Amino acid sequence: MGSLVFDLMLHYFGTKNIFWYFFILIFILSVIAYKLGFARELSLLKSFFVYVLLFIGTFITTLFAVLKLPIVESLVVICIILGIYRFRLHLERQSR
């Protein structure tokens, strides 16, 4: 059983640069998940350090995605759930 996103990317883009397509997609989804759920106001240097570590960690998760594990699908679900949480939190704060 393979990953749906892996199969789609393989069909449309082929195998030539699939690692880099996954890397960019996973990095963007990871940044969105970080901003929605975990980001705080940090100084510029600390924010830079966090994003560099996120960039390095994306290499590891991309390797799992290329091995047909559902990394991208999991990140999409995480972003949707965190987006719903933030939206409901915003509505609750607005009603007070």
- Model confidence over 39-90: pLDDT tens digits? 788 899 999 999 999 999 999 999 998 888 889 999 999 999 999 999 999 9
Per-residue model confidence (pLDDT) at position 12: 84
Mean pLDDT, to the nearest integer, of 28-46? 91
DSSP 2: -
Query: 18-37 vs 44-66: helix axis angle to the nearest 10?
Result: 130
CA dist., res. 96 & res. 78, Å (int) = 27
pLDDT category at 1 given cuts 50, 70, 90 is very low
For the chain, what's the residue count? 96
Per-residue model confidence (pLDDT) at position 2: 56
